Amino acid sequence: MIYGLILAWMALRGVVEGMIMIQFSDPMYVGHEDKNVEGVRCHQWFKTYHWLCIARDAVLVALVASAIFADHLCHISKMLSLTGVCIVGWELTETAYNYTRFRRFVTEHENVMGAFDLNGWPVWLLHSGRWIVGGALIVAGIFA
């Protein structure tokens, strides 16, 4: 259950961030009748924004409560799985952000944590690598 909550929270986080970061040139931008308004109010899904924030926060509260009462996280095998779930969750955050803002799951350009830019096939390699490494750690934790 705790792994599902992590993945749900990270996906919702990506959706909310994508809505916040909307720009005029993005496909999900619909504008606003008041030309001085920008940001999340100009996103195609703005009517659901507050509900998505509430859902994200509720999932985080459930996640914290589950972590407090979970004694099984102390085992090394579960820590491998938890690390894998966090990596897959990071990828879900990135994918949800990309779709919410650009209407694409993977873009042709990616800035990695503000440190360096990737273009073309290295972007696909980065996204694939997160799925593969995260999945491998989850499987390693299951069979450890």
**Tens of pLDDT, residues 17-40:** 999 888 888 888 887 777 777 788
Q: Which two tokens stand for residue 126?
A: 């980065």
Section 54-63 average pLDDT: 88
CB within 8 Å of 129: residues ≥ 6 apart: none
| Domains held by the chain: number | 1
Check pLDDT > 90 for residue 119. Answer: no
Global confidence as pTM: 0.74
Show the domain range for 6: 2-143
Section 119-126 average pLDDT: 86
